[in-house]
Structure 1
Amino acid sequence: MGDTLHPVQLVLLVLFHLLAWGAAGHAVLTKRDPRSALGWSAALIFLPVVGLLLYLAFGISRTQSAAQRMLRRLAAGEPYIPLSGESPQPPEHIPAQAVLLERLGRRLTGQELCGGNRIEPLRNGNEAYPAMLHAIHAARRHVYLSSYIFAHGSSAEAFCEALALAAARGVDVRVLVDGFGGRFYSLRRPWAHLAARGVRVAQFLPLQLLPPKLCINLRTHRKLLVCDGVAFTGGMNISDHHVLSGRKGDVQDMQFRCLGPIVFQLLRAFLLDWGFACGRPEPVPVPDIPTESDGESLCRLVLDGPDSDDDTLNDLMAGAISGATRSVHIMTPYFLPSHELMTSLRSAAQRGLDVRVILPERNNLPYVHWASFRLLPSLLRAGVRVWHQPPPFAHTKLLAVDGYYSQIGSANLDARSLRLNFELNMEVFDPRFHDLLVQHMREAAGRGREMTLARLNARSLPLRLRDAACWLFSPYL
């Protein structure tokens, strides 16, 4: 009798099993990666209680559908305003080999290139933060800041003071912080006190228990600052780690100052995210602030995330690499590329192109770093050259192709960025800008160590087993 289940327990057990099987069916029907669908299905069937709770917390499909509905509604209601320099056809001075790539970006994003932009790289917080703070202090109309991490420290204090002063002089100041990144990476939240000083503050899908909102996997990874006619974007958060000072936790990164018509596209991107975070559409103002510049860069924003049924960034990067005729340079902190990207890289190298990948020697996410070792032999055998650059940890994300095309922004080459996060990248068609990025990547490689098959094969069996174990979970890292 002691082993007999109470009727209530039996009912709960049957209920959990039914719900788990239903969730497994949902995973099979909605997940785009078969490994992800298989992993979730196995967890739900064999561990119905734990698997169901994990699926509710980390399985993104339910929240993904909500995001799709809202963001599509917001985007559909946004009036289209032609920008100065925007071209309905590929500009005539694009080299012939770049025309197909321009067309690919236009088909995937539905956006035209806009010309007359100047994109300036700023290295680390040492260069980027003073320029960003100067733009905030100089703003007279609006200051819009979006960050995945806004961590406590002297840098955050400087930004908070500048934002509060801007609000005090009548500027429309808004700060959007990710609901997970803004809390997880800093126990103290300096941005939370800005509302008391006149700054409009919002969180992107904050985690909460009642009512339950535990969509941990649905995060905004976009980094963006728009101050009147100037904008900044790239991979840099707000954190003292980005100001290099010889400390153990320093993080290398690159931010980009943007001038020209692309600034208004960045403003529209912020307002779209703001409207989603606040749960209501935000009207897009007519661009009454000059966005002209003397730049020669043709640019296009690439917004990607689980609000789309397409793998926009993954397809665009794979297409750029597959169509390359001379060279491909990549720098990324997290390297767990999709099957399509792996095939494109191997094929480009096998065709005799100069394909180079620069990764950090040390990583803040060691399990991702270990998993990447499992992928390197296949690339090296195909002729891809891979370097590990020395510390501090490099968080920079760059792609440069064929002497003309570049891509910058927030997206990493891993499943989380390319399938789960809301990311913001920018295409840049400009040979001068391309060469600046390639020079930066080659300097980093010159300080590092090139990986070879001999070095990989010399690693001990325990290390290779550890790498393979991490690689098995790469769709979930």
Structure 2
Amino acid sequence: MNHITLLTICYGVISLICSISVTIHILLTKRDTASCAGWIGVCWLMPLFGSVLYLMFGINRVHRRAQKMMDEEGTEHYLPLKELRHEVKGQFLPLVKMLDRLTGHPLLGGNIVRCLHDGDNAYPVMLEAISQAQHSVLLCSYIFRHDIIGEKFVEVLSEAKNRGVEVRVLVDGIGSGYIYSDILRSLDEKNIKCARFMHSFLPWRMPFINLRNHRKILVIDGKIGFLGGLNIGAENLLRVTTHQPVADTHFRFEGPVITQLTEAFVKDWAFTTNEVLTGPRYFPQPVPIGNVPARIVTSGPDADMEKIEYAMLQAIILAKKEVWFMSPYFIPDNRFATELGLAALRGVEVNILVPKESNHKFTDYARNACLPRLIDVGCHIWLGGPPFNHSKLMVVDRNWSFVGSSNLDRRSLRLNFEINVEIHDFITASHLEGFIKRHCSEKLTKEDYQAWSLPVRLRNAVLRLFTPYL
């Protein structure tokens, strides 16, 4: 047996072992059959290279690390909230029960909610809250720009730190700069404790580049909280002339639900830095101060359940009259599109508002590939004019609202770390429904999409294949 033949046999044996081993792991761990079949095909067509790709990109190490941290930490960091649970009867009771089990958190009564549209209205309220902080400030943002607004936040955060307030700032490792982050340099210069979520230049950590923390959280003293779709940047100031102005909606909360919001930040911070924040400085005794029931719902690749998507799907199933969506990036998968279609077919008025032109053209093209199917079954697709609106809103039967950071696409619902809040309140739902209606400037009809040329339709269909990376 010559040398070349021996190498060929060794290569074949190693390839077979790799393919079989990876296939077994895929079959035992992957839930999605399309993903499962795809990875198995790659590993048998290219045994060694495919196996390396799977080891890098196919294994959810984020979930493993998060589960290990939960096992080590044991109990929650905050006081039990069972006595503040809000009991629901009627239409949305099945949804409440499902989220009870899915999130492990109760629906909490006694909250106050305030809608803040655009950075012009939201930033002053957020900055004022930070300037009045006495114990702690926790801030998480996907995008934190080093511009006139970003520096204003750095200034008030520095002032808070200098008067003895514990300040923590978490930004995404991609959204706020991967190679170099000006805002982190500015925070470091002020000696503010800050970190980049899942950021590394190490080759074996590069797979995490597609997993992003898209959450926007601000908590003051464990008593006042903000969340929604608003990043930190001058483009969100509509009263200031910018190249691409971005409208958005943010929410200010007070009440027991802030405990759940704080916990979401604390887990992300511990995941990133291994520092566990605990004690009354961050988790004071929750006190009911309003009458709005609310609950935080998070999702991300650190868990097996797509909790935000499941909440939306269950709400669509329970809808009796109407469902309103407002999303800057709308690319539903087959499961989500089917539920929307079934709701429309049973007589529910399904209204979906998307921007006529977003800030990502490729995403718009991929979105347009999804819309004809929904229009054909009776969903109403509305187009919003400029400025581009980044709000993420859902309202069902003018009684239940679901708002936060999550878009209606595969990236948000499966890959990103997201945070939403369910709100059981007629006043809030009515306000948000009216807000969505006012932005419906043009309706997309069957005649409109039938007029699209073949090259346009092919372009849209091709780009839809890349939705997890858009």
Taking structure 2 as the reference length, the TM-score comes to 0.90
Moved more, 409-418 or 22-31: 22-31
The CA distance in 1 between the partners of 2:285 and 2:61, in whole Å, is: 41
**One-letter amino acid of the counterpart of residue 469, structure 1:** V
The CA distance in 1 between the partners of 2:49 and 2:431, in whole Å, is: 50
**One-letter amino acid of the counterpart of residue 63, structure 2:** Q
1:403-442 alignment, distance < 5 Å: 403-442=398-437
Q: CA deviation at 1:391?
A: 2.3
Change (3 A) 1:451 1:67: same
The CA distance in 2 between the partners of 1:338 and 1:158, in whole Å, is: 40
CA contact (8 A) 1:404 1:431 kept: yes
Q: CA deviation at 1:22?
A: 4.5
Change (3 A) 1:406 1:137: same
Aligned residue number for residue 371 of structure 2: 376
Structure 2 residue matching 1:97: 3-state secondary structure: coil
Structure 1 residue matching 2:210: 3-state secondary structure: coil
CA contact (8 A) 2:411 2:467 kept: no
Q: CA deviation at 1:51?
A: 4.8
Moved more, 202-211 or 309-318: 202-211
RMSD of aligned Cα (Å)? 2.8
The CA distance in 2 between the partners of 1:288 and 1:260, in whole Å, is: 12
1:77-476 alignment, distance < 5 Å: 77-83=75-81, 86-87=84-85, 90-91=86-87, 94=88, 96-184=90-178, 187-209=180-202, 212=205, 214-228=207-221, 229-244=223-238, 245-285=240-280, 289=284, 292=287, 294-445=289-440, 448-474=441-467
Give CA deviations for 1:404-463 in whole Å, capped at 9, x if unaligned: 111111111111211122211111000000011101110111xx2111111001000000
The CA distance in 1 between the partners of 2:211 and 2:345, in whole Å, is: 37
The CA distance in 2 between the partners of 1:71 and 1:220, in whole Å, is: 19
**One-letter amino acid of the counterpart of residue 103, structure 1:** K
Moved more, 97-106 or 157-166: 97-106
The CA distance in 2 between the partners of 1:335 and 1:182, in whole Å, is: 23
Change (3 A) 1:331 1:27: farther
**One-letter amino acid of the counterpart of residue 143, structure 1:** V
The CA distance in 1 between the partners of 2:195 and 2:309, in whole Å, is: 29
| Unaligned segments of structure 2, at least 5 residues | none
Q: CA deviation at 1:84?
A: 8.8
CA contact (8 A) 1:155 1:238 kept: yes
Structure 2 residue matching 1:134: 3-state secondary structure: helix
Q: CA deviation at 1:216?
A: 1.6
Aligned residue number for residue 62 of structure 2: 63
Percent same amino acid at aligned positions? 38
The CA distance in 2 between the partners of 1:425 and 1:257, in whole Å, is: 13
CA contact (8 A) 1:357 1:385 kept: yes
Q: CA deviation at 1:106?
A: 1.4
**One-letter amino acid of the counterpart of residue 112, structure 1:** P
The CA distance in 1 between the partners of 2:247 and 2:20, in whole Å, is: 45
Q: CA deviation at 1:62?
A: 2.9
**One-letter amino acid of the counterpart of residue 359, structure 1:** V
Q: CA deviation at 1:10?
A: 9.7
Q: CA deviation at 1:73?
A: 3.9
CA contact (8 A) 2:400 2:425 kept: yes
Change (3 A) 1:287 1:467: closer
CA contact (8 A) 1:59 1:217 kept: no
Change (3 A) 1:474 1:178: closer
Change (3 A) 1:82 1:472: same
Structure 1 residue matching 2:114: 3-state secondary structure: strand
**One-letter amino acid of the counterpart of residue 306, structure 2:** D
Q: CA deviation at 1:284?
A: 4.5
Q: CA deviation at 1:383?
A: 1.0
Structure 2 residue matching 1:459: 3-state secondary structure: coil
Give CA deviations for 1:83-102 in whole Å, capped at 9, x if unaligned: 49712xx52xx452122222
Change (3 A) 1:13 1:359: farther
Taking structure 1 as the reference length, the TM-score comes to 0.89
**One-letter amino acid of the counterpart of residue 181, structure 1:** G
Moved more, 396-405 or 95-104: 95-104
The CA distance in 1 between the partners of 2:411 and 2:21, in whole Å, is: 25
**One-letter amino acid of the counterpart of residue 177, structure 1:** V
CA contact (8 A) 2:78 2:283 kept: no
Aligned residue number for residue 37 of structure 2: 38
CA contact (8 A) 2:136 2:281 kept: no
CA contact (8 A) 1:250 1:393 kept: yes
CA contact (8 A) 2:328 2:391 kept: yes
Q: CA deviation at 1:292?
A: 4.4
Q: CA deviation at 1:314?
A: 1.6
The CA distance in 1 between the partners of 2:204 and 2:454, in whole Å, is: 48
Change (3 A) 1:178 1:11: farther
CA contact (8 A) 1:149 1:177 kept: yes
Moved more, 430-439 or 295-304: 295-304
The CA distance in 2 between the partners of 1:11 and 1:197, in whole Å, is: 58
The CA distance in 2 between the partners of 1:84 and 1:64, in whole Å, is: 28
CA contact (8 A) 1:60 1:218 kept: no
The CA distance in 2 between the partners of 1:38 and 1:107, in whole Å, is: 31
The CA distance in 2 between the partners of 1:14 and 1:215, in whole Å, is: 31
CA contact (8 A) 1:117 1:297 kept: yes
**One-letter amino acid of the counterpart of residue 433, structure 1:** T
**One-letter amino acid of the counterpart of residue 385, structure 1:** H
| Unaligned segments of structure 1, at least 5 residues | none
Q: CA deviation at 1:166?
A: 0.8
Give CA deviations for 1:128-183 in whole Å, capped at 9, x if unaligned: 11111111111111010011121221111111111111111110001011222222
